[in-house]
Amino acid sequence: MTTLLKSATIIDTSSPFHNQTKDILIIDGTISKIDDNISTEDGYQTVELNDLHVSTGWFDTSVSLGEPGYEERETIKHGLNVAAQSGFTAVAVNPNTQPITENKAAIEFLINKANGFATDLFPIGALTQKSEGVEMAELFDMQQSGAIAFGDYKKPIANDNLLKIALLYAQNFNGLVMSFPKNKAIAGEGVANEGVNSTILGLKGIPSLAEEIQVARDLFLLEYTGGKLHIPTISTAKSVNLIKEAKEKGLDITCSVSIHNLFLTDDELHGFDARKKVNPPLRTKEDTAALIEGVKNGIIDIITTDHNPIDIEYKKVEFSTAKDGTIGFESAFGALNTILDLETIQRSLSITPKQRFGIEFNGIQENSKANLSLFSTKDEYTFSEKDVLSTSKNSIFFDKTLKGKVYGSYNNNQLILANHA
């Protein structure tokens, strides 16, 4: 298949064509030519779109798809198609399925099920058996089968010694350990950020300390053991500072932040809308400002949608009893484009996550594999249910003003365009 992208502004800091508007000719999945004007010939699939931008393909490091076990929330097939239409050429899938992704067979099931799609799927294996935090899972076997990291999704490792052993053991095969930053004893039964808003609304609070004390513990353990640690979805200013200090010490540490924790604050809670209930919770304006600055200066390495479809019967209930989680594919770029520059978005959604998780990075240059996200930076719009492609509709971004829309993606010799493109 031959595809010609006309007048595409290239966003790739690793490319000699960065910030230049060029035609891109792709033949059988490989970028054949990049030039000012490439003539269209018979048989070309030509893409000519308003304000077309292309970036190296985006990689989302925290995605939940439901299958196996929760197919009513999202199947692998449909989820990967939504990801592709939303600009993502790769996703790392969390082990919060039924059964839990805790062994070689479960890893191979996911990889085989995702074969042939435009968006690549990379499994994250559970760190502990059944994600119960008691016994370590079969990490080496899972890595041999294709797992790219190990963590218990949204479940902190309370046992200090277990995390210490995991960090030591994983060094034998260069494994990446993930540790969710939450101290359950301090968080208690909290459902929202502990602060002025939770007090006014009568909601049980989760203090920032519940996250920060866990981050501090994890960093102490990492300093003792060595190894590679990734802390997903931090949400507080103090966490940013703790990770900054650890990096200055030379520890092999990375972290991510969810888009909604960059974009929204706990002021959103005043409608008791359970779609705004997420884990970690929305924090304060001061936290959001610190997180955005942390992304800009590279202390926060990775941005994720933390895409987590939840059935309506678990969201259309009282706030305190609703399940945590929001979908995030469709709103990702529009939200980020309102608060960050394109180079920072590319670094945090493409370059750094691929480096950290050991995924092949393909720059935008001739003779390189075409792995591209296609989007427009213009046009503000109010995000609504008509913009949602996911099976579940639990978006935290409804009624928010976003800027820029995704046209789709190109990967694995497949062009996937969004319905509105």
Cα-to-chain-centroid distance, residue 126: 17
Please spell the DSSP secondary structure of 103-160, one letter per residue.
Answer: SHHHHHHHHHHTTT-SSEEEEEEPSBGGG-SSSB--HHHHHHHT--EE--TT-----H
pLDDT by position in tens, the chain (length 421): 899 999 999 999 999 999 999 999 999 999 999 999 998 888 899 999 999 999 999 999 999 999 999 999 999 999 999 999 999 999 999 999 999 999 999 999 999 999 999 999 999 999 999 999 999 999 999 999 999 999 999 999 999 999 999 999 999 999 999 999 999 999 999 999 999 999 999 999 999 999 999 999 999 999 999 999 999 999 999 999 999 999 999 999 999 999 999 999 999 999 899 999 999 999 999 999 999 999 999 999 999 999 999 998 898 899 999 999 999 999 999 999 999 999 999 999 999 999 999 999 999 999 999 999 999 999 899 999 999 999 999 999 999 999 999 999 999 999 999 976 5
Total count of domains within the chain:
2
> Do 117 and 44 belong together in one domain?
no
Q: What are phi and psi of 261, to 5 degrees?
A: -75, -15
Structure token digits, residue 229: 């640690």
**What is the rounded distance in angstroms from the CA atom of residue 351 to the CA atom of residue 14?**
9
Strand 21-27 to 2-11 pairing: antiparallel
Q: At 200, is the secondary structure helix, strand, or coil? A: helix
| Alpha-carbon torsion (385, 386, 387, 392), positive or negative | positive
Same domain assignment for residues 312 and 391:
no
Boundary of a domain, candidates 305, 335, 357: 357
Q: Does one domain contain both 149 and 274?
A: yes
The total of other beta-carbon atoms located within 10 Å of residue 188's CB is 14
Within this chain, do residues 264 and 336 fall inside the same structural domain, yes or no? yes
> Which CATH number do you get for residue 257?
3.20.20.140
Q: How far apart are CA 314 and CA 413, in angstroms?
A: 38
254 shares its domain with 392: no
One domain for residues 336 and 371: no
For residues 328 and 231, membership in a common domain is answered with: yes
CA 101, chain centre distance (Å): 18
Q: Select from 310, 289, 313, 311 the least CA-distant residue to 300.
A: 289
In this prediction, residue 421 carries a pLDDT of: 56
Taking the C-alpha atoms of 343, 344, 345 and 349 in order, what is their torsion angle to the nearest 10 degrees?
110
Helix (H, G, I), strand (E, B) or coil at 194: coil
Of residues 122, 126, 119, 131, the one with CA closest to residue 93: 122
Give a three-class secondary structure readout of 228-277.
EEEECCCCCHHHHHHHHHHHHCCCCEEEEEEHHHHHCCHHHHHHCCHHHC
Number of H helices, E strands in the chain: 13, 18
Out of 323, 357, 391, pick the residue that ends a domain: 357
Is the domain of 333 the same as that of 400?
no
Query: Catalytic annotation on 152?
Result: no
Largest CA distance in the chain: 66
Residue 200 neighbours by CB under 8 Å, 6+ apart = none
* Lookup: tokens for 110: 């996911």
Same domain, 11 and 64: no
Helix, strand, or coil (residue 39): coil
Looking up residue 390, the CATH number of its domain turns out to be 2.30.40.10
Domain that holds residue 374: 2-53+366-417
Amino acid of residue 409: S
Name the residue among 89, 93, 116 with its Cα closest to residue 374.
Answer: 89
Residue 352 three-state SS: helix
Q: How far apart are CA 391 and CA 388, in angstroms?
A: 8
Q: Where are the beta strands (DSSP E) in 158-204?
A: 176-178, 192-193
pTM over 0.75: yes
Degrees to nearest 5, angle at CA 361 with 233 and 406: 65
Q: Are residues 153 and 36 in the same domain?
A: no
Among 320, 335, 357, which residue terminates a domain? 357
Catalytic residue among 60, 266, 306, 387: 306
Q: What is the pLDDT of residue 419?
A: 78
CA dihedral 34, 39, 43, 49 (to 10 degrees): 70
Reading the block at residue 98, the tokens are 């039924």
Angstrom distance (rounded) from CA 304 to CA 350: 10
What whole-number distance in Å separates Cα of residue 413 and Cα of residue 191?
A: 44
Within 111-240, strands assigned E span 120-125, 149-150, 176-178, 192-193, 205-206, 228-231
Residues 47 and 66 in one domain: no
226/316 same-domain check: yes
CA distance 307 to 332: 10
The count of other CB atoms within 10 Å of the CB of residue 1 is 12
Q: Is 108 helix (H, G, I), strand (E, B) or coil?
A: helix
